[in-house]
Amino acid sequence: MLDLFADESPWSEPLAPGAVILRRQAREQSAILLAAIEQVAAISPFRQMVTPGGYTMSVAMTNCGPYGWSTDRHGYCYAAIDPLTGKPWPAMPECFQELARTAAARAGYPTFSPDACLINRYQPGAKLSLHQDKDEALLDAPIVSVSLGLPATFQFGGLKRTDSLQRVWLEHGDVVVWGGESRLFYHGIQSLKPGQHPLTGEYRYNLTFRRASNSE
């Protein structure tokens, strides 16, 4: 178990061309990040979205930043207005922006500047099926994904859904960054196993930073 190395400084592990795992990158500031999640959710609550196929997602979601990712029976999109509240998504906390930029720079993407942060909340049994992140205007910008709370198995494949998968155990504070050749690789999260984390209880949270628009 990676917890045997809980006191070690952050380190990196290659995942694929253009993709890297930054172990422990977010651990030191995790309490601040979790407090910021609560502040965002107080304005735009977590909700389980319905896909175009009519499937209610098991993962609860909210967003912050100039743009938020959303799905309904009509499709997937980024929008400046939260469809649940009818108001703009909450501003992206500065601690989020700093973490995303620092992690991206460590992974080789020094110019990354996110304008969207999707916040996922997993409870036991929740999962995220294999998918590609392709709703963004700029596909040359990387994805920065931050794990907080309970551990989970991250699946990372290739450009086709049928490509072989790597299964990576992600723990509290781990960050995955992918772009370049790996930008459109399929990925997902296997069903979350029950557990208790000292900071998040029975939940796992994930922050996914993207560049949704092509505006400066």
- At 97-136, the pLDDT tens digits run 999 999 999 999 999 999 999 999 999 999 999 999 998 9
Higher-confidence position of 75 and 184: 184
Q: How confident is the model at residue 7 (pLDDT cuts 50, 70, 90)?
A: low
From the number of C-beta atoms within 10 Å of its C-beta (0-12, 13-18, 19+), residue 131 rates as: exposed
Mean pLDDT in residue range 72-83: 87
Residue 70 parent element (H or E): strand 68-72
Torsion of CA 102, 104, 105, 107, to 10 degrees: 130
pTM confidence score: 0.94
Confidence of residue 4 (pLDDT cuts 50, 70, 90): very low
**Amino acid found at 144:** V
CB distance 141 to 112 below 8 Å: yes
Q: Which domains does the chain have, with CATH numbers?
A: 12-210 (2.60.120.590)
- The confidence score (pLDDT) of residue 216 equals 59
The conformational region for residue 29 under phi > 0 = left, psi -120 to 50 = alpha, else beta, is alpha
Measured between alpha carbons, how far is 150 from 170 in angstroms, rounded to an integer?
9
Secondary structure of residue 3 in the 3-state scheme: helix
From CA 115, how far away is CA 121, in angstroms rounded?
20
Structure tokens at 87: 């108001």
Q: What is the pLDDT of residue 93?
A: 98
Could you tell me if 146 and 34 are in contact, meaning their C-beta atoms sit under 8 angstroms apart? no
Task: Report residue 157 CA to chain centroid gap.
Answer: 16
